[in-house]
């Protein structure tokens, strides 16, 4: 069962996209790139798409030779599913969590930490909710969705993207924090 806690106004984990650069909903990544970014096998990706666990929201496959196109949010959900599976959560409970995650916007997802006791998946959006959950005395593990988003954001630019409408994708070179520090040090 998937349980969500009350949304806390002060439970924000910080803005992942502070400059309003939320990923374009028409820009996607083909299956092999989605696999590498999310850390899953192509077999897992294909099975999850065919069973509807995580289907590509930009473009589905239509017969032999067609390519699925996964959005940033799809890849984030793939990564969360992988982490939940790795920690022993049942596929049935993962399906409930995925259904819930699909209804949330990218900005909303950045504020969520998922916890599980191996059976149930819980959403926590504030430190108070985390404390309440931990006071139950049961062992739990957590997945900070914003952390998974940062991991994806750091690597996704290394992979070729394409627009569903056939438009051209403008290349914006994105320097990681270390590169920015080196440039600043060398400049002055």
Q: How confident is the model at residue 188 (pLDDT cuts 50, 70, 90)?
A: low
Crossing angle of helices 72-86/91-102, nearest 10°?
150
Q: Starting at the earlier edge strand, list the strands of the sheet with 141-144.
A: 2-4, 121-124, 113-116, 141-144
CA dihedral for 53, 56, 59, 61, sign (positive or negative): negative
Domains of the chain, earliest start first: 24-105+148-183 (1.10.1660.10)
pLDDT at 93 over 70: yes
Name the pLDDT band for 19 (thresholds 50, 70, 90).
Answer: very low
- Which pLDDT does position 20 carry in this prediction? 38
Average pLDDT estimate for 8-18: 38
Cα(150)–Cα(94) distance, integer angstroms: 22
Using the structure block, give the residue that is written with the tokens 């790795």: 86
**Tell me: the pLDDT tens digits for 64-84?**
767 899 999 999 999 999 998
pLDDT for position 44: 95
């Amino acid at each position: 069962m998937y349980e969500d806690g009350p949304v806390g106004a002060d439970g924000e984990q910080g803005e992942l996209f502070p400059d309003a650069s939320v990923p374009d909903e028409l820009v996607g990544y083909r299956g092999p790139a989605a696999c590498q970014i999310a850390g899953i096998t192509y077999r897992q990706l294909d099975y999850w798409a065919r069973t509807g666990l995580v289907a590509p929201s930009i473009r589905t496959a239509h017969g032999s030779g067609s390519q699925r196109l996964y959005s940033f949010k799809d890849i984030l959900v793939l990564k969360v599913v992988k982490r939940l599976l790795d920690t022993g959560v049942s596929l049935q409970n993962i399906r409930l969590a995925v259904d819930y995650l699909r209804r949330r916007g990218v900005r909303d997802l950045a504020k969520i930490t998922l916890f599980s006791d191996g059976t149930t998946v819980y959403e926590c959006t504030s430190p108070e909710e985390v404390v309440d959950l931990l006071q139950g005395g049961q062992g739990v593990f957590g997945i900070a969705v914003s952390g998974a988003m940062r991991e994806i954001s750091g690597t996704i630019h290394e992979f070729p993207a394409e627009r569903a409408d056939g438009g051209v994708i403008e290349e914006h070179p994105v320097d990681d924090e270390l590169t920015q520090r080196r440039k600043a040090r060398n400049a002055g």
